[in-house]
Chain A
Amino acid sequence: MEPILEVKNLNYIYSIGTPFEHQALDNVSFAVNRGEFIGIIGHTGSGKSTLMQQLNGLLKPTSGQVLLDGQDIWSDKKLTRQARFRVGLVFQYPEYQLFEETVYRDIAFGPKNMGLKEDEIDRRVREAAGFVGLTENQLQVSPFDLSGGQKRRVAIAGVIAMEPEVLILDEPTAGLDPIGRAEILGNIESYRKAKNATIMMVSHSMEDVARLTDRLLVMNGSHLAMDATPAEVFTHAEELVEMGLNIPQVTQVFLELRKMGVEVPNVYTIGQAVDALKAIRGGAAKC
């Protein structure tokens, strides 16, 4: 299958030619398939945010290519603009970018910029609002009258309304309570299922990425350090800790169990842990 998004030998240097020069991305290459859920983890300053802004053409690579459907997004001005809409980017704390008088108009901002017809905009706004669980009544209120979690959902709906094929989110659950977190992650998953969209999510919660993602990109010091399934990534516990990251708590518990001499498999989600423990108990009951 042709990858939807491909990054080839991407380099990016900030403030080139000044004392503040800093290489944020160093020869990063990877490919992303349609419908995949990808987690991006990495220590603060490892280049995650820079990478995200490369993928929809907000930043121009110093060298290397970003290919969307096999086409370099910088080869043509039209393609660059298209990339903005086809690759949706939700920044950290996106609720601070709301500006319109009503929730409806704020969500409609993206589709309007795409130059869509009025009824298509209307359909998209309502659909996007549905994905994030906003009610019909809430569409007509001012976004500034909503709670923090609701504002966050309006902001995410504003990007979803462009119906991007690739949706990139930078810590979409930062600063939310557990229920809010679960809801937002559920919203993202339902959008992926409905549109067969690709999701790329930056997160500091190892539990979340372990549970949700098909593949993990691990960034470390401007490099792409690992590109593998969560199961594989979390077997490198020591390396992750060295990078200032961690492994899910349950994985840690099981590693300790194994050190204590209990025969347990590698797990990285609560569900797997429960199954593994049940199997052990079942075995013990037999003898």
Chain B
Amino acid sequence: MLKDITLGQYFPGNSVIHRLDPRTKLIMLVVYIVALFMAKGILSYGMLLVLLVAVIKVSTIPPKSIVKGMKPLVMILVFTGVLNLFFTQEGPVLVDFWVITITLGGLTRAFFMVLRILMLITCTFLLTYTTSPISLTDGLESLMNPLKKIGVPVHELSMMMCIALRFIPTLIEETDKIMCAQKARGADFENGSLIDRAKALIPILVPLFIGAFRRADELATAMECRCYQGGEGRTKMKLLHYHRNDLTAFGIGALMIVAVAVLGSFGL
């Protein structure tokens, strides 16, 4: 049940997308999100969707796992959809029943809103699915490097992110184990009032937090044993370089954003 959560997980592979420089992927993610918010009409959305599907295809990530990752977000999607559907009153009325009025404008807006969120999440998933946590943080660190000049602890931040990503699956597994152990002692997480269910979480959260602190302590010791002293003077085994494919990716990104801007000026 909990094991099915794939958020922030890396699927090893050797596709073109996997081999792109992490910085390219990060920048392209931002560009894509910007384009997504600039998109106005069906043509722009269609183009962005085709692009996304193409990238999924090339990345060899099974579409099933992307769908699976969406599951925890279903509530947000439904909520957004319903809100837009009922509270946008534009254009011809489609349904008028009791207090419910659905207009064509509301329907289209709800549709595009949900589509936008879906695409937003999918492209974020693509980044974490095709980029190992280490190269992802490497990329982030390198992109944020200029911020060091104004005193932002860039290396520490990226190390924190790297550790957080690395420990998501570990903690999920641990939660599963603790849940099983408490269920074996008769704990009930599914029944009772909201307060009862919130209380039922204590036997999971306390051991989970204690376990997390224990792990953090062990990890700190292990890092010190290997002479980790922060980013100062630390060299890298894998230096980041842009390649031909990265330039192609940037080219596609630039074309995409120009296309969306042009289409947007025509309201498409």
Contact = CB atoms under 8 A, between A and B. Distances in A.
Given A18-B64, A109-B203, A97 B186 contact: no
B183 A158 contact: no
A182 interface: no
A58 interface: yes
Interface in B205-249: 206-207, 210-211
B177 interface: yes
Nearest to A95: B207
Contacts of B178: 96-97
Which interface residue of B64, B178, B181 has the most chain A CB atoms within 10 A? B181
B16 interface: no
Nearest to B214: A96
A114 B187 CA distance: 9
Contacts of A159: 184-185
B183 A84 contact: yes
Interface string A186-225: 0000000000000000000000000000000000000000
Contacts of A99: 202-203, 206-207
What is the predominant secondary structure among interface residues of chain B facing chain A?
helix
A39 interface: no
Interface string A2-46: 000000000000010011000000000000000000000000000
A162 interface: yes
A53 B62 CA distance: 31
A81 B196 CA distance: 18
A91 B186 contact: no
A19 B182 CA distance: 29
B184 A113 contact: no
B207 A84 contact: no
Interface in A127-176: 144, 158-159, 162
Which interface residue of A15, A53, A99, A110 has the most chain B CB atoms within 10 A? A99
A61 interface: no
Interface of A: 15, 18-19, 53, 56, 58, 81, 84-85, 88-91, 94, 96-99, 109-110, 113-114, 144, 158-159, 162
Interface of B: 3, 62, 64, 177-178, 180-188, 202-203, 206-207, 210-211
Leading 8 A-B pairs by shortest Cβ distance: A113-B186, A99-B206, A89-B184, A97-B181, A110-B185, A91-B181, A99-B203, A99-B207
